[in-house]
Amino acid sequence: MQKIINNPDNLVDEMVEGFLLVHNNIVAGTDNPRVIKYKDAPVNDKVGIVTGGGSGHKPAFIGYAGEGMADAVAIGEIFTSPSANSFYDAFHAADSGKGVACLYGNFSGDVMNVKMARELAEEDQTNVKTVIANDDVPSSPKNNRENRRGSAGEILMWKVGGARAALGGDLDEVIASAQKAIDNTRSVGIGLSACTIPSVGKPNFSIEPGKMEIGIGHHGEPGMETVELKTADEIASLSLDVILPDYPFSKGDEVVALISGLGATPLIEQYVYYRKVAEILKSKGISVYRSFVGNYFTSLEMKGVSLTLMKVDEELKELIDYPTDAVYFKQQS
Amino acid sequence: MQKIINNPDNLVDEMVEGFLLVHNNIVAGTDNPRVIKYKDAPVNDKVGIVTGGGSGHKPAFIGYAGEGMADAVAIGEIFTSPSANSFYDAFHAADSGKGVACLYGNFSGDVMNVKMARELAEEDQTNVKTVIANDDVPSSPKNNRENRRGSAGEILMWKVGGARAALGGDLDEVIASAQKAIDNTRSVGIGLSACTIPSVGKPNFSIEPGKMEIGIGHHGEPGMETVELKTADEIASLSLDVILPDYPFSKGDEVVALISGLGATPLIEQYVYYRKVAEILKSKGISVYRSFVGNYFTSLEMKGVSLTLMKVDEELKELIDYPTDAVYFKQQS
C-alpha cells in the first residue's frame, strides 16, 4: 500500500490536525475533534450552514468551510458517516440563533445520523432544516430520484445555500435556494481505477486495465456498466448521454458545469475532457454560464472524473457568483 | 494506460483549449497557441513576469498566471521545454515597456530556449532578465548548487517576484526579490510510484511496492536512494534531514512551508505529512510563518510529495502575504 500514513487508526485525527495548522486563517477546531468550523462562526444574524460526511473525499467536506460556504463541518472516518453527536455539535458551532441549514449527501449513514442529531437539537430548541443531495444519476432510476446518492453537486448546493445565507436569507429561504440548486443538478462519475481504504490495505473493488466504469459512486459503488476504455472525447459524450436526458437539459438552457477529478486524475486530462463537454453543450444550444475544473470531490486516489451540470436561472447565477473565501473555494467575483 | 485522453499528439493543445474556456475570467490565449497570458497583460507600468516549462506539472505552470503572479506563460510538451519562440512571444505578451523578469527552473532545455529567446528579444530592445530556480537539494551537491534543478520552490519565487512587480518594483528590484526568494529556498521530493507519459504509454521508471525514492525529480529523475517505504512521520523526518542542514535552517528562523502532492497523493496524506513537518520544525525552534498544502506542482499521476521551505525576513513576508488572484493561487490576505 503506497501511502504516506502512520497508524490508519489515527489517520483522520492527524489529517484534521494538519489541516487546522495550515488553514488557521480561515478555520478553527472545536471541542469535538471531529468538528471544524469557519473561524468566525457562528456569524451574527446569519443562518448557519452545516455539512459533513466521510473522509477520503478531500477537499470535501472540510475544505468548503469558510466565508460564504459552510460554517461547520462534521467529519467521519474514511468513507463513513460522522456520528450523530458530531453533526449535533456542528449545528451548535454554526448556529447564531437564526437556525441551521444542514446540506448533505444521500447516504444511509449520514441520513440516520443527521436525523438523530436533529432530534437532539429539537430538545434544546435549535432550529435545523435539511436538504439531502441526490444528484448522482446512475445510482437509481429517475422515478426513484429520492434514492439517488449525493455527488459533486453537493459543492454547488453549498455554494448556493451559503451565498443565500450570507445575503441575509432566513432559514426557509436558504433551504429553498439549496433545494432548488440540487433539484437543478445532475452528476455522473466515470471510474478508471480503484482506491484503497488505508485500514483495509487493498482495493475493495477493481477496474481492469483497458476498462472503465460508467456511473461509479464516490466510494466505488458499482456503476451502470463496465466498458472498454474510450477516448476523452467519447467519455465526455457518454457522460452527457447519461445526464442530459435525465433532467432534461435542453436547447436554450444555461448551466454551471463542474468537473472533478476523483483523486489521481491529472488536471491535464480533466481539461481535455471538459473541452469536449463544452463543445457538445454548445452544439446542443446549451450555454455554460460558469465552469469549474479540478479536484473538487475525490475518492482517495481513484482515477476518473465526475461531471456535474446545474441548470441556472437569475437567482442561481447571482448565488453562484457571490464572493466566497472557503479553504478550497475562493472566488473574488 | 488508464488515461482520459485523445490522440497524445493533441494533448497539450486540447488541454490549453479547455483551460482557457474554464478560466477566461483570469487568462486569455495569444496568437501563439503555446503562450497564455493574464487577461490584462501587459499591465501598464509594471514589470512583466514570465515563466514557462513542460506540461504535466499542472497547475504549474499555466495555473500561476493572473494578478500578482505571472503575466505570461510559455507551454511545452509533456516534460519538455517550451520553444525559444514561445518564451520570446511570452516576453512580448508580458512587457509593458518596463522590462520582463523571466523566472524559471533549471532544466537544460529551458535554459537553452530562454537564452535564445533573450537573444531574439535583445534585437528589438526588449529588456529581459532572469532568475533560474535551483531549489531541489538532492539533484546536486551543495558546492554545485548552480547545477540543481528547480522544484516547487518556483511557486514561491513567482509569488515573491510577482508581488514585487505589483508593488511597483523596477526590473532590477523584481529580479533581486525573486533571486532572494529562491536563494532562501530548499526542496526535496519523495516518490512512491511512477507516472506514464501519454505518448510513451508506459512508465519510464519504476518504484517497487513497499519502496520509496528520496530525492526524486519532477520528471522521475533518480533520487538519492531507494529505501523501504516508511511511515508518514518518518518520511517527514527524513525529508527535513535532507533540506534543513543544506541551507541551513536553524533555531530562530522563520520559514514558509509548501507541501505539494505529486499528482496521485490524496490531500489527506499530505496533511498527515505536514502535521509532522510542523511538529519537528517547532521542536527545532523554527517557526512557520505561512504554510501551503495541496497539489501545487505535480508530475502527472506520480504518488509522493515534495517539501519546500523558504526562510523569510520582513521583505519576503510582505511579498508572500500580498494579495494574489492567479488561477490556482488565490490569496485575499
Is the separation of the CB atoms in B53 and B80 below 8 Å?
no
Percent with pLDDT over 90 in chain A = 95
Q: Is A92 a catalytic residue?
A: no
Segment B102-125, tens digit of pLDDT: 999 999 999 999 999 999 999 999
Which pLDDT does position B333 carry in this prediction?
A: 63
* For residues B274-281, average pLDDT: 98
Q: What CA–CA distance (Å, rounded) separates A258 from B199? A: 28
Cβ neighbour number for residue B192 with a 10 Å cutoff: 25
Which pLDDT does position A215 carry in this prediction?
A: 95
Model confidence band, residue A333 (pLDDT cutoffs 50, 70, 90): low
Handedness of CA B202, B108, B114, B155 (dihedral sign): positive
Segment B313-332, tens digit of pLDDT: 999 999 999 999 999 999 98
Number of residues written out for chain A: 333
Considering only residues A333 and A266, tell me which one the structure prediction assigns the higher pLDDT.
A266
Is the separation of the CB atoms in B106 and B134 below 8 Å?
yes
**Omega into A42 within 30° of 0, i.e. cis?**
yes
Q: Which helix (H) or strand (E) holds A19?
A: helix A11-22
Is the separation of the CB atoms in B131 and B171 below 8 Å?
no
Which pLDDT does position B209 carry in this prediction?
A: 95
Interface with chain A: mutation pick from B267, B307, B327, highest number of A CBs within 10 Å: B267
Nearest CB partner across the interface for B209, out of A2, A14, A190: A2
B285 CB near a chain A CB, below 8 Å? no
Is the separation of the CB atoms in B208 and B193 below 8 Å?
no
CB-based contact A292 B22, cutoff 8 Å: yes
Is the separation of the CB atoms in A129 and A175 below 8 Å?
yes
Q: Which residues pair with B75 in a beta bridge?
A: B53
Strand B287-294 to B254-261 pairing: parallel
Which pLDDT does position B6 carry in this prediction?
A: 97
Mean pLDDT (chain A, rounded): 97
Is the separation of the CB atoms in B303 and A2 below 8 Å?
yes
Q: What CA–CA distance (Å, rounded) separates A288 from A286? A: 7
Q: What CA–CA distance (Å, rounded) separates A183 from A145? A: 10
Is the separation of the CB atoms in B328 and B295 below 8 Å?
no
Find the Cα–Cα–Cα–Cα dihedral A212, A155, A288, A229, rounded to 10°: 0
Which pLDDT does position B293 carry in this prediction?
A: 98
* For residues B196-217, average pLDDT: 93
- Provide the angle, in degrees to the nearest 10, between the axes of the packed helices B171-183 and B153-166: 150
Query: A172 to chain B nearest CA, in Å?
Result: 31
Which residue of chain A is at minimal alpha-carbon distance from B213? A2
pTM over 0.90: yes
CA atoms within 13 A on the CB side of A91: 30
CB-based contact A267 B58, cutoff 8 Å: yes
Among B188, B205, B207, B208, residue whose Cα is nearest residue B297: B188
A2 CB near a chain B CB, below 8 Å? yes
Which pLDDT does position B205 carry in this prediction?
A: 87
Is the separation of the CB atoms in A298 and A62 below 8 Å?
no
- The ipTM of this complex is 0.96
Amino acid at A326: A
Which pLDDT does position A204 carry in this prediction?
A: 80
Segment B32-88, tens digit of pLDDT: 999 999 999 999 999 999 999 999 999 999 999 999 999 999 999 999 999 999 999
Model confidence band, residue A328 (pLDDT cutoffs 50, 70, 90): very high
Segment A44-95, tens digit of pLDDT: 999 999 999 999 999 999 999 999 999 999 999 999 999 999 999 999 999 9
Burial of A135 (0-12, 13-18, 19+ CB in 10 A): buried
What backbone torsions phi and psi does residue A45 show, to the nearest 5 degrees? 60, 30
Is the separation of the CB atoms in A34 and A74 below 8 Å?
yes
B positions 310-329 inside 8 Å of A (CB): 325
Find the Cα–Cα–Cα–Cα dihedral B135, B137, B138, B142, rounded to 10°: 120
A80 CB near a chain B CB, below 8 Å? no
Q: What CA–CA distance (Å, rounded) separates B90 from B73? A: 6
Number of residues written out for chain B: 333
Judge whether residue B273 has pLDDT over 90: yes
Segment A10-27, tens digit of pLDDT: 999 999 999 999 999 999
B positions 252-281 inside 8 Å of A (CB): 263-275, 278
Cell (9 digits) for A142 = 429517475
Among A165, A167, A160, residue whose Cα is nearest residue A183: A160
CB-based contact B293 A11, cutoff 8 Å: no
Query: Residue holding cell 437539537?
Result: A121
* For residues B224-241, average pLDDT: 97
Interface with chain A: mutation pick from B19, B272, B289, highest number of A CBs within 10 Å: B272
* 3 state DSSP class of B247: coil
Model confidence band, residue B204 (pLDDT cutoffs 50, 70, 90): confident
Is the separation of the CB atoms in A263 and A195 below 8 Å?
yes
Is the separation of the CB atoms in A276 and A323 below 8 Å?
no
Q: Which helix (H) or strand (E) holds A279?
A: helix A267-283
Judge whether residue B139 has pLDDT over 80: yes
Which pLDDT does position A286 carry in this prediction?
A: 98
Q: Is A218 a catalytic residue?
A: no
Calculate ∠ Cα B22-B23-B24, nearest 5°. 105
Segment A271-325, tens digit of pLDDT: 999 999 999 999 999 999 999 999 999 999 999 999 999 999 999 999 999 999 9
Percent with pLDDT over 90 in chain B = 95
Among B68, B47, B113, residue whose Cα is nearest residue B86: B113
Q: List, as own/partner pairs, every contact residues B227-235 make where C-beta atoms lie below 8 angstroms and the sequence separation is at least 24, other chains included.
A: B229/A2, B229/B192, B231/A5, B231/A6, B232/A4, B232/A5, B232/A6, B232/A14, B232/B269, B232/B272, B232/B273, B232/B276, B233/A6, B233/B276, B235/A4, B235/B190, B235/B273, B235/B305
B positions 93-152 inside 8 Å of A (CB): none
